[in-house]
Structure 1
Amino acid sequence: MEERILSAEKSLKDNGFDVSLFKTKEEAREALFDSISVDESIGFGGSMTLFEMGLFEDFKERGYEVYWHWKAEDKKEALSKAFNSKIYITSTNALTLDGKLVNIDGSGNRVSSMFYGHERVYIIAGRNKICKDYNDAIERIKNIAAPKNAQRLKVNTPCRFTGKCNDCNSPDRICNVEVIIHKNLPGCNINIYIIDEDLGY
């Protein structure tokens, strides 16, 4: 496994997070099934990583109670149920070699659920999310994650067309909330799964 993955793992553990490394997304998927019982409700945060892994369908097919606004007709209801679920699964925009999680969100539902209101949180990240430090993480978010999400959502923001952040004032702006989780919070059970594959934006 790459040295930067091992370095990120050590720093995240030093900051109080529970960290597991996996060679493939299939291994990470099985670990999730082993860690989450079928009687525990699960909320999903918006994430191309989860989408690419097919996790929502996998959990649903196995009889889990799962909520994801990406897969619901009534998005408002799905968001509410996801917020009140026992387990929350999402990804992160970036994680740094000094053990921080850096995220920018449009509405804040995903980033707030990463550290509040759930018994356990699982954050799934491919190796492509690992950044040197905070500045590198913000660069990645503004010029990779945000433009790609803007293109996926077909919102009317400059980054959709230029491929880089313009710090816009568009009504469709998707970068409204920035959250840095420096350390695992008291009473918060954040589990980070790092996969040695490129996943998501």
Structure 2
Amino acid sequence: MNEHVKEANKKRIEAIIKNLETRNMSGYYCETAEDAKNKILSMISEGDLVSWGGSASLDELGIKKELKNVLDGTAPSKEEALENRRKAFMADVYLTGTNAVTMDGELVNIDKTGNRVAAMCFGPKKVIVVAGINKIVENEDAAVGRIRTEACVPNAIRLGLMTPCAVTGKCAHCLGQSMCCYTVTTRASAIKDRIHIILVNEHLGY
């Protein structure tokens, strides 16, 4: 990435971090994905029970293999994954990505099962969110538009779902097997500093 673009991105992230503070959320700047992984690990204490939902950003960080005391919400067995998603509400730390973060510091997510957005809202003692520079948008409307075109389509393909968007590449506002069952905007955290957002000056996930 061009050095001037990286510097411009850094200034955008710094502005978002200030806005997150007004919303009872904590923001952190990381230059690289490796820095982000190390930052997240430093925020997890010995013995913490850690869980997560589906996140391409977390997968790219490679952080899951560094953790021991875990509830894997993406376990290969559907039964185990579902049970772990239920138990995740009692986790000490919940790791997740976000589909979009606005310049004003709002998190916007579209979810199929709802476990990821539910845990962000309530349950786990600490929520750590990682977001690449590609997730930054101007406002909530731009966030929803971005998610429907740049996140839901590749995610549906990854999961092998025959949604209209997986076939055509375009959102059809479908129901049934839809990827878009829940749309949640996190305007603020009811508990100060419960939600921590790691903003990375690299592209992560989709």
Q: Say whether the fold is shared (TM-score over 0.5).
A: yes
Correspondence for 1:47: 55
Question: Structure 1 vs Structure 2: percent identity of aligned residues?
Answer: 35
> For each residue in 1:51-104, what CA deviation from the matched residue of structure 2 results, as whole angstroms up to 9, or x when unmatched?
111111121xxxx21122323432222222323211101011000001100111
Contact 1:119–1:188, Cα closer than 8 Å, also in 2: no
Gaps in structure 1 of 5+ consecutive residues: none
Which residue is 1:198 aligned to?
Answer: 203
Encode CA deviations 1:21-79: one digit per residue, 9 max, x unaligned: 100111111122221112000011210000111111121xxxx2112232343222222
- SS of the residue 2:74 aligns to: helix
The residue aligned with 1:95 is: 101
Are the counterparts in 2 of residues 8 and 130 from structure 1 also a CA contact under 8 Å? no
Q: Is the alpha carbon distance of 1:104 and 1:150 closer, same or farther for their aligned partners in structure 2, counting shifts above 3 Å? A: same
Of the structure 1 ranges 186-195 and 135-144, higher mean CA displacement relative to structure 2 is found in: 186-195
Could you say which residue in structure 2 is the equivalent of 1:26? 34
Q: Match for residue 177 of structure 1?
A: 182
Deviation at 1:143, TM superposition (A): 0.7
Which residue does the alignment assign to 2:133? 127
- Quick one: distance in 1 between partners of 2:142 and 2:196? 23
1:98-117 → structure 2 map (5 Å cutoff): 98-117=104-123
Matches of 2:113 and 2:14, distance apart in 1: 32
1:5 and 2:10 matched: no
Q: Matched residues in 2 for 1:18 and 1:168: separation? A: 35
Residue in structure 1 matched with residue 194 of structure 2 by the alignment: 189
Question: Do the aligned partners of 1:115 and 1:190 also contact (CA within 8 Å) in 2?
Answer: no
Superposition deviation, residue 16 in structure 1: 1.9
Runs of 4+ off more than 3 Å: none
- The one-character-per-residue Cα deviations of 1:153-173 (angstroms, maximum 9, x if unpaired) are 11011100221211012x211
Please give the alpha-carbon distance, in whole angstroms, between the structure 2 residues aligned to 1:147 and 1:86. Answer: 32
Are the equivalent residues in 2 in contact too, given 1:44–1:68 (CA < 8 A)?
Answer: yes
Q: CA deviation at 1:186?
A: 2.9
Contact kept? 2:163, 2:178, Cα under 8 Å: yes
2:70 partner amino acid: V
1:159 maps to which of 128, 140, 165 = 165
Listed as ranges, the matches of 1:131-142 within 5 Å are 131-142=137-148
Residues 133 and 200 in structure 2, CA contact (< 8 A), matched pair in contact too? yes
2:156/2:179 contact within 8 Å kept: yes
How far apart are the structure 1 equivalents of 2:73 and 2:93?
15
Mark the runs of 5 or more structure 2 residues left unpaired by the alignment: 1-6
Residue correspondences, number: 196
Match of 1:66 in 2: 70
